[in-house]
Amino acid sequence: MEPVTILEVEKGLHEIPFETALFGMGCFWGPEARFGGIPGVLRTRVGYAGGTTQNPTYRKMGDHTETLEVDFDPTLVSYEKLLSVFWNNHYPNRDAYKGRQYLSILRYRSEEQRLDIERVKKEMEAVLGEGIETEIAPFESFTLAETRHQKYYLKRYPKALEQVEVLYPIPEMLVDSAFAARLNAFVKGFGTRQELITEITRWPITSDAQHVLADTLQTMKW
């Protein structure tokens, strides 16, 4: 088997037509792990959105909210499904939060997403038996959070991270890696090793790349 060049590992995944969703549901570390384990999710990244403060950072967030941005393949997972995950995994009423940092927010990027939000929201309110106060508005901007916040749970395993960084030595590559998103989910308890290996065999990447990722996962030291 010829060696797989770094830039080719996930090339096929980056060629898939995708949609992007933005969620704010409390601290962004947990949601990134949860959504990162969903088949059909291609990339996850955490950052700041929903406010007007220029150039927000973790220490100077201003009126922004911690958010998660997700690129997904709509042929494998629907926006409605992601909305269901969103509303079933945090408390979406404003009185639960002080300030805007951990607010429940949605930002839609199309009329189709807006209509899906409206429909799923009504369904969830019927289930909850109360109104949902998630802040809903058109997408305006998203500022990527600092590198240390990306794939936070994976980074708590330095030995594993070292092995992943052999394939993705540039931080920006790790942020946009589906494999890293799955590992970040795995170490948080979302999915199993065998489920991930099986999923990798279905990814539209070369067979050499599939073998490299599967072998990396099978031999990973934690």
- DSSP class per residue in 148-164: GGTTTTGGG-HHHHHHH
Distance CA 213, CA 222 (A): 16
Lowest mean pLDDT among 35-44, 107-116, 206-215: 206-215
User: In this model, does residue 24 exceed pLDDT 80?
Assistant: yes
The verdict on 35 and 97 lying in the same domain is yes
The better pLDDT of the pair 66, 127 is held by 66
Residues 80 and 116: beta-carbon distance below 8 Å: yes
The verdict on 25 and 90 lying in the same domain is yes
Distance CA 192, CA 77 (A): 19
Residues 108-120 pLDDT 10s: 999 999 999 999 9
The verdict on 65 and 169 lying in the same domain is no
Could you say which of 144, 173, 197 is where a domain stops? Answer: 144
**Is 207 assigned a catalytic role?**
no
- Tokens 């037509």 found at: 17
The verdict on 49 and 87 lying in the same domain is yes
The verdict on 134 and 29 lying in the same domain is yes
The verdict on 162 and 112 lying in the same domain is no
Catalytic residue among 11, 18, 27, 62: 27
Residues 180-202 pLDDT 10s: 999 999 999 999 999 999 999 99
Q: Which two tokens stand for residue 22?
A: 């933005």
The verdict on 115 and 25 lying in the same domain is yes
Grouping H, G, I as helix, E, B as strand and the rest as coil, residue 108 is strand
Threshold 0.85, pTM exceeds: yes
Domain that holds residue 181: 6-12+151-218
The verdict on 49 and 109 lying in the same domain is yes
The verdict on 114 and 166 lying in the same domain is no
Q: In this structure, is residue 124 part of a structural domain?
A: yes
Q: In this structure, is residue 90 part of a structural domain?
A: yes
Could you say which of 86, 110, 144 is where a domain stops? Answer: 144
The verdict on 34 and 99 lying in the same domain is yes
Q: How many domains would you assign to the chain?
A: 2
Distance CA 30, CA 63 (A): 21
Could you say which of 144, 172, 192 is where a domain stops? Answer: 144
The verdict on 214 and 109 lying in the same domain is no
How many helices (DSSP H) and strands (DSSP E) are in the chain?
9, 6
The verdict on 118 and 159 lying in the same domain is no
